[in-house]
Amino acid sequence: MPVIAFANSKGGSGKTTSALLLAQALSAHRPTTIIDADPRHPITTWAEKPGRPDSLSVVTNTSEKTILDEIEAAAARDPFVIIDLEGTASRLMSYAISQADLVVIPMKEQQQDALAALDVIQEIHRDMKATRRKIPYSVLFTQSRAAVKSRTARHISAQFRDNDHIDTFVTEVHERDAFAAMFSMGGTVAGMDKKLVNGLPNAMANIEALRAEVIAKLRAIRDAEQGRAA
């Protein structure tokens, strides 16, 4: 079953938000496990609030010694496994990346996020050498403006989108009230009250676009692997 790791060595990159949004979207269709490997355990805190779907399991990681077993157990149980990794480069991050079918690298359109994303890409390539397997990865722009972008944001985005060696998501996770509200209110974006949270239809469309593109990438990865094996 697909294992999707969210990794960025810089905190505040939108990593946890993006991982939880994808987990919610996937769990609406198939049982999904999200492994909370961030030392702050923000997803565990979210799960303790009311509204977590029964189809979405949360596993709280405690150390690098258990992460491989947690991934194996979750992959044997549910069709999708998502890992929210800690915000710094570590052995735990390397272990999780080595097991991933897809690594998502969330980043804001800011220079410090760009440098951190490049650090993660270098780490992935080191893990490829260590494991002697290709580890697909893709950059996901987060907390972006849905309308007009600044000149700096466009420049940073273009550095990745115009690079033939770096895959990027077409979909961007926009900065929306609903995405921030789920951590304070609990539950899913789909379960929020339109009277309490602004822009829910656009937020739901954004989440569905992310889910659809992840599924498309996983299918393309599977087809490429089958083609190499043939």
| pLDDT tens, the chain, 230 aa long | 799 999 987 777 889 999 999 999 999 999 999 999 998 999 999 999 999 999 999 999 989 999 999 999 999 999 999 999 976 668 898 999 999 999 999 999 999 999 999 999 999 999 999 999 999 999 999 988 877 788 999 999 999 999 999 999 999 999 999 999 999 999 999 999 988 898 999 999 999 999 999 999 999 999 988 877 66
Give residue 87's pLDDT: 67
User: Which residues have C-beta within 8 Å of that of residue 221, sequence separation ≥ 6?
Assistant: 101, 102, 136
The total domain count for the chain is 1
- Full residue range of the structural domain in which residue 19 is found: 3-229
Residue 230, pLDDT score: 63
Single-letter code of the amino acid located at 68: L
Predicted TM-score (pTM) of the model is 0.94
SS3 102: strand
Question: Please, what is the end-to-end C-alpha distance for the chain in angstroms?
Answer: 20
- In eight-state DSSP terms, residue 3 is E
Looking at residue 89, what is its pLDDT? 67
Q: What is the pLDDT of residue 228?
A: 74
Instruction: Report the CATH number at residue 145.
Output: 3.40.50.300
Q: What is the pLDDT of residue 148?
A: 78
pLDDT of residue 160: 95
